[in-house]
């Protein structure tokens, strides 16, 4: 099986709740059969930025992480990257099994 990259915004009271919300939304949209190539396939996340960024900066950073094949997010079975956004949301990035 292959992998698709994803960049998924989500909100929640904290990063954990935002992550779970993003997974639930992706499973609802793409099914929960496995190999969706979305954040629904992820079991964990890793913070990849310390300070909140603007939505535009966060999107650019997420694309940079994918383009650089950053080791923190490159494993389709590993964690998603979590980027805090200054509007109180989170941006999750990574690769997922497809």
Give the residue among 30, 31, 27, 11 at the shortest CA–CA distance from 19: 11
Q: Rounded to the nearest 5°, which phi and psi values hold at 48?
A: -115, 5
pLDDT for residue 20 is more than 90: yes
Site of tokens 């990063």: 15
Residues 33-84 have pLDDT tens digits of 789 999 999 999 999 999 999 999 999 999 999 999 999 999 999 999 999 9
Q: Which domain holds residue 19?
A: 3-97
Whether the Cβ atoms of residue 92 and residue 85 lie closer than 8 Å to each other? no
Question: How many domains are contained in the chain?
Answer: 1
Residues 1-19 have pLDDT tens digits of 699 999 999 999 999 999 9
Q: Per the confidence metrics, is the pTM higher than 0.75?
A: yes
Q: How far is CA 83 from CA 27, 32, 63, in A?
A: 21, 25, 12
> What span, in angstroms and rounded, lies between the C-alpha atoms of 36 and 48?
23
């Amino acid at each position: 099986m292959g992998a698709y990259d994803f960049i998924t915004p989500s909100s929640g009271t904290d990063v954990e709740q935002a992550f779970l919300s993003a997974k639930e939304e992706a499973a609802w949209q793409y099914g929960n059969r496995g190999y969706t190539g979305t954040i629904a396939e992820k079991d964990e996340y890793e913070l990849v930025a310390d300070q909140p960024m603007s939505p535009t900066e966060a999107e650019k950073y997420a694309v940079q992480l994918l383009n650089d094949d950053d080791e923190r997010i490159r494993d389709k079975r590993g964690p998603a990257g979590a980027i805090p956004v200054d509007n109180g949301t989170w941006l999750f990035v990574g690769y997922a099994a497809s």
